[in-house]
Amino acid sequence: MNKVRIGIVGLGRLGFIHAKNISSIIKNAELSAACSLNKEELSRAKKELNVGYCFSDFKEMINDSDLNAIVIVSPSANHCEQAIYALQKGLHVFCEKPLGITLQECLAVEEAVAANANQVFMLGFMRRYDPSYMYAKQKIDEGVLGKPILFRSYSVDPESAIDGALKYVEHSAGQFLDMAIHDIDLARWMLKAEPKSIFAIGGCYAHKEFAEHGDGDNVSALLQFDNESMAFFLAGRTATHGYNVETEIIGTKATLRIGSVPRKNMVEILDSHGVRQECSQSFQERFEVAFVNEMQEFVDCIIENKKPEIKAEDGTKSTNIAYLATKSFKENKLIKI
Ligand SMILES: NC(=O)c1ccc[n+]([C@@H]2O[C@H](COP(=O)([O-])OP(=O)(O)OC[C@H]3O[C@@H](n4cnc5c(N)ncnc54)[C@H](O)[C@@H]3O)[C@@H](O)[C@H]2O)c1
């Protein structure tokens, strides 16, 4: 295959970015079809990205377009059903995180992936394709860290995006599944270990509306992994300075920090306020390169007939940990895994 014909489902905040990357940056790929429930998004995709075929029904897109692969960027509750349908129709599948919102539906995807072993299945844990996280992982694999002691990772959305977060909360499946899932995946990837206990707490510190959905505007979890290392996650929606993603891994020989100040770039501004650096303001901005890298990897895997590092099983495990964190938060109890 020289060129992978891709159909995308979901053209919202992230879907349009993936669609644009596929149609303009990703090598050996073309955006053949798009599906959304929103007519304006579809006409924008037709006009700006020159998408050939537009659909409002996912199954129609799969059955009526001549596709090799599907990219799923619909709401999290739709991922598993759509992934299974596409796999059974013989398509390669890229699915956004989280894989699913229940353990059962994730396991059903694993089964469909196993039953269609010649097709590529990849999950959108894009931080694994961010140059800084990749470099840190390389250093850990080289043994720079020594024995890992603590993995600490924060994912906090900007307060300026709170209106969107409040509209989205009903469908987000909660902060652990929606936000901390990235930190959970990073911890498993970098520590090469699985958690054995978890305790989560949190609350509504600025926006009580989250409580109506059994969520907090900021939540955190403390975990112990089976290699005895500890992990601490914070997921929130109230960073006044911007989009705050930072990670620290403390080991017996070194400490690695990624993005401990969520700076926009290397520029320092010296003015009447003093010396300052601007912060990145959104996931789109912070992970712009990672979104391109991961999609290129998906297409390369299809063309070169190889399998991506991120497997469906990683999706199941991270969903399960996020689910147990949510349970611990809601029931205020320590959970042994
Ligand atoms: N990797 C990341 O950092 C990251 C960032 C943002 C979102 N996401 C994930 O991407 C997914 C989408 O998030 P978003 O913020 O772009 O959502 P969004 O609400 O902005 O867009 C959702 C899109 O899905 C479409 N849609 C909804 N139901 C559909 C259905 N039944 N059939 C076909 N299309 C349907 C909508 O029309 C819309 O185009 C979520 O699962 C989210 O977790 C990942």
Q: Encode pLDDT of 179-229 as tens digits.
A: 999 999 999 999 999 999 999 999 999 999 999 999 999 999 999 999 999
Q: Which atom of ligand 1 is nearest to the CA of 124?
A: 1
Mutate to test the pocket of ligand 1, among 56, 73, 123, 127 (most ligand atoms within 8 A of CB): 73
> How far is residue 267 CA from its own chain's centroid?
28
pTM for the model stands at 0.97
The pLDDT, as a whole number, for residue 1 is 82
Per residue in 233-277, pLDDT tens?
Answer: 999 999 999 999 999 999 999 999 999 999 999 999 999 999 999
Distance 212 CA to ligand 1 centre (A): 22
Distance 11 CA to ligand 1 centre (A): 7
Report whether 127 contacts 186 (CB < 8 A): yes
Q: Specify the residue with its C-alpha closest to ligand 1, atom 19.
A: 12
**If you write DSSP's letter for every residue of 68-121 in order, what string do you get?**
SEEEE-S-GGGHHHHHHHHHHTT-EEEEESSS-SSHHHHHHHHHHHHHTTTS-E
How many angstroms separate the CA atoms of 211 and 214, rounded? 5
Ligand 1 site residues, Cβ closer than 6 angstroms: 9-15, 35-38, 41, 58, 73-76, 78, 96-97, 124, 126, 178, 283
Across the range 36-58, mean pLDDT stands at: 96
Mutate to test the pocket of ligand 1, among 37, 101, 153, 172 (most ligand atoms within 8 A of CB): 37
List, in order of start, the domains of the chain with CATH numbers: 4-126 (3.40.50.720), 128-289+318-336 (3.30.360.10)
The pLDDT, as a whole number, for residue 191 is 96
Distance 10 CA to ligand 1 centre (A): 5
Per residue in 4-42, pLDDT tens?
Answer: 999 999 999 999 999 999 999 999 999 999 999 999 999
Per residue in 59-92, pLDDT tens?
Answer: 999 999 999 999 999 999 999 999 999 999 999 9
How many angstroms separate the CA atoms of 16 and 257, rounded? 31
Task: Report whether pLDDT(170) > 90.
Answer: no
List all residues 6 or more positions away from 49 whose beta carbon is below 8 Å from its beta carbon. 19, 20, 23, 24, 31, 34
Per residue in 105-148, pLDDT tens?
Answer: 999 999 999 999 999 999 999 999 999 999 999 999 999 999 99
The pLDDT, as a whole number, for residue 218 is 98
Buried b (16+ CB within 10 A) or exposed e, 266-304: eeeeeeeeeeeeebbbebeebbbebbbbbbbbbbbbbbe
Q: Which atom of ligand 1 is nearest to the CA of 172?
A: 43
Q: Smallest Cα–Cα separation from 308: which of 119, 180, 182?
A: 119
How many angstroms separate the CA atoms of 140 and 256, rounded? 9
Residue with tokens 């029904």: 57
Per residue in 290-314, pLDDT tens?
Answer: 999 999 999 999 999 999 999 999 9
The pLDDT, as a whole number, for residue 175 is 96
The pLDDT, as a whole number, for residue 280 is 96
Q: Which atom of ligand 1 is nearest to the CA of 15?
A: 16
The pLDDT, as a whole number, for residue 163 is 96
Q: Where would I find the H helices in 208-307?
A: 283-286, 288-304
